[in-house]
A = this chain, B = another copy of it.
Amino acid sequence: MTDEKTTDHNITDKHQQRMQKMKEKVDARIESATEERGILIVITGNGKGKSTSGFGTVARAVGHGLNAAVAQFIKGTWACGERQLLENAGVKFSVMGTGFTWNTQDKEKDIAAAQQVWLKCKELLSDTNIDLVLLDEMTYMLSYKYIDLDEVITALNNRPKHQHVIITGRACHRAIIELADTVSEIKSIKHAFDSGIKAQKGIDW
């Protein structure tokens, strides 16, 4: 009985020592991170979760009373659930609304629609009242050269110091990745769609 208790006590001690060490490491890292400013976050890669991560961060920011705005490229022909919720919470949306480029099959129309949303983005990126701008699926616009890379980089560099920006989409241009403070690449390990499960409301849109 006494032995068992001693063993239990040793295990508890070990756990506490390990956690104490971890706490010291974490605390030291937290202490060395002192800068506070608007950051550029890129969420790229082929896996599911890029846009939802962007919208989750918008929800987080709005929940804290920050002002957030969303520009949506490509999507926008479907009634996305997050848009309804976030618009109710005061988030302004600018939506390209033409759908996927393989649906329109009209390059000139797509470029005009992309340019129109980009004009709005430039406004947002110079508005000191906006704390967070989500540029959802913008990477494709740069891949297709529907909007100008240099213009995007200039607008990002000249934005208000406190303003956070999130860019989502596959195959993000290297120049944007270099500029970014935080970059996550979402790899697809598997996707329900590939097993014959259709896109479902509340999950996929």
Contacts and interface: CB of A to CB of B under 8 A. Distances in A.
A19 interface: yes
A59 B36 contact: no
B63 A81 contact: yes
Number of copies: 2
Given A55-B56, A81-B62, A193-B29, A184 B182 contact: no
Given A181-B190, A197-B33, A84 B63 contact: yes
- A29, A36, A45, A63: residue with the most chain B Cβ atoms closer than 10 Å: A63
Nearest to A52: B56
A190 B180 contact: yes
A92 B108 CA distance: 47
Given A23-B102, A49-B53, A36 B198 contact: yes
Contacts of A34: 196, 198
A102 to B, nearest CB: 4
B186 A64 contact: no
A58 to B, nearest CB: 8
B59 A82 contact: yes
A131 B203 CA distance: 10
Interface residues of A, number: 85
Contacts of A184: 47-49, 186-189
Nearest to A107: B15
A29 B54 CA distance: 26
Contacts of A192: 39, 41, 181-182
Contacts of A193: 29, 33
Nearest to A54: B56
Interface of A: 12, 15-16, 19-20, 22-23, 26, 29-30, 32-37, 39, 41-43, 45, 47-64, 66, 80-86, 89, 100-108, 131-132, 164, 177, 180-193, 195-203, 205
10 contacts: A23-B102, A33-B199, A36-B197, A39-B203, A41-B48, A45-B187, A48-B184, A164-B202, A182-B190, A185-B186
